[in-house]
Amino acid sequence: MSRSGRRSRAAKALGRSATPRREGTAKTPGEIDAMAASGAVLARVHDTLAKEIAPGVTTGRLDEIAEQLIRDAGGVPSFKGYQGFPGSICPSRNDEVVHAIPGDIVLADGDVLSLDCGVTLDGWVSDSARSYAVGAVTDEARRLIDVTRESLARGIAACVAGNRIGDIGAAVQAEVEAAGFSVVESLVGHGVGRTMHEPPQVPNYGTAGTGPELFEGLVIAIEPMVNVGGPDITLGPDGWTITSADGSLSAHWEHTVAVTAAGPRILTLAAGG
Ligand code: MG
Ligand code: MG
């Protein structure tokens, strides 16, 4: 899940100072290993759901599979009950950006489906999202999914001790805007740990060299949300589902990443991956 961010672009101007500030707490190497164990369960959920996605499948069925896998692994679905959210996954389709509720919606050929999920294992949260083509999609939809995934990779590459939060956002934004798409600015990534949302906020836009400093032991969820059209979003009548304001297609990729002495460590990969 993403969190609400500062809506003001003025936030971009903040943080350029001689002594970079830090937000969030450092996890020990042992704690990061525990978060990677949580993330491995989450990766298995995503890998399993990827094989189930097809025209005719309901988002509610995907939710059941995810919850069962998480509980069988001894974990708890982090999203279920979070501020009253009823599901274990957020299956957001087409113009839905994030936070859609699973149910009797039937996947159709040509849909773009973003699946966001969180796992709490031994008290440690992991958070990750992937976007998929359902059946045969348009070239533009395929490009949107690929560009969003690549923008996440660029953001992760900037996740190095001594860098700033703005280096991540700038890397994501450059990739997205070079493709002619828009980053959603009013929802952001976040620190992760014992709870799903911790400092710092991790915007998908920004200016390199600005913002809080990245330091060893910091764990953050980087999660570009990308619209084909404009960046504006709308909250739906269910109080959860967020759509692109102009109805354009949207995609979402997310990994939970630790800043380590050896560079960025993605925690939401399959064990051994
Ligand atoms: Mg998420
Ligand atoms: Mg998140």
Domain boundaries, the chain: 3-266
CATH topology of domain 3-266: Creatine Amidinohydrolase (3.90.230)
Residue 8 alpha carbon to ligand 1 centre in Å:
23
Asked if residue 78 lies in contact with residue 35, where contact means CB atoms within 8 angstroms, the answer is no
Host H or E run for residue 102:
none
Neighbouring residues of the ion ligand 1, judged by CB less than 5 Å: 1, 116, 127, 129, 254
Q: Which two tokens stand for residue 76?
A: 């708890």
What is the pLDDT averaged over residues 101-111?
98
Residue 255 alpha carbon to ligand 2 centre in Å:
8
More confident residue, 17 or 53: 53
Q: How far apart are CA 151 and CA 138, in angstroms?
A: 20
- What pLDDT is attached to residue 20? 86
Share of the chain above pLDDT 90, in %: 91
pLDDT at 168 over 50: yes
Residues 6+ apart with CB under 8 A from 75: 38, 41, 119, 120, 121
What is the pLDDT averaged over residues 245-254?
98
Neighbours of 122 (CB within 10 A): 10
Residue 19 alpha carbon to ligand 1 centre in Å:
31
Residue closest to 127 by CA, chosen among 21, 22, 248, 258: 258
What is the dihedral sign for C-alpha 36, 39, 40, 43? negative
Residue closest to 80 by CA, chosen among 70, 92, 72: 70
pLDDT at 7 over 50: no
- What pLDDT is attached to residue 64? 98
- What pLDDT is attached to residue 271? 78
pLDDT, one tens digit per residue, over 45-68 is 999 999 999 999 999 999 999 999
Preceding omega of 55 cis (within 30 degrees of 0): no
- What pLDDT is attached to residue 11? 46
Residue 146 alpha carbon to ligand 2 centre in Å:
19
pLDDT at 18 over 80: no
pLDDT, one tens digit per residue, over 84-94 is 999 999 999 99
Preceding omega of 77 cis (within 30 degrees of 0): no
- What pLDDT is attached to residue 214? 98
Residue 45 alpha carbon to ligand 1 centre in Å:
13
- Report H helices in the chain: 29-52, 59-72, 139-157, 165-178
- What pLDDT is attached to residue 250? 98
**Bridge partner list, 112:** 133
Residue 19 alpha carbon to ligand 2 centre in Å:
28
Share of the chain above pLDDT 70, in %: 94
Residue 83 alpha carbon to ligand 2 centre in Å:
14
Residue closest to 223 by CA, chosen among 177, 133, 156: 156
pLDDT at 272 over 70: no
Q: What is the mean pLDDT of the chain?
A: 95
Does the pTM surpass 0.85? The reply is yes
Nearest-Å Rg of the Cα atoms of the chain is 17
Neighbouring residues of the ion ligand 2, judged by CB less than 5 Å: 1, 127, 221, 223
Angle at 158 between CA 156 and CA 161, to 5 degrees: 110
Task: Report which bound ligand comes closest to the CA of 117.
Answer: 1
Host H or E run for residue 127:
strand 124-133
- What pLDDT is attached to residue 17? 52
Q: How many residues would you count in the chain?
A: 273
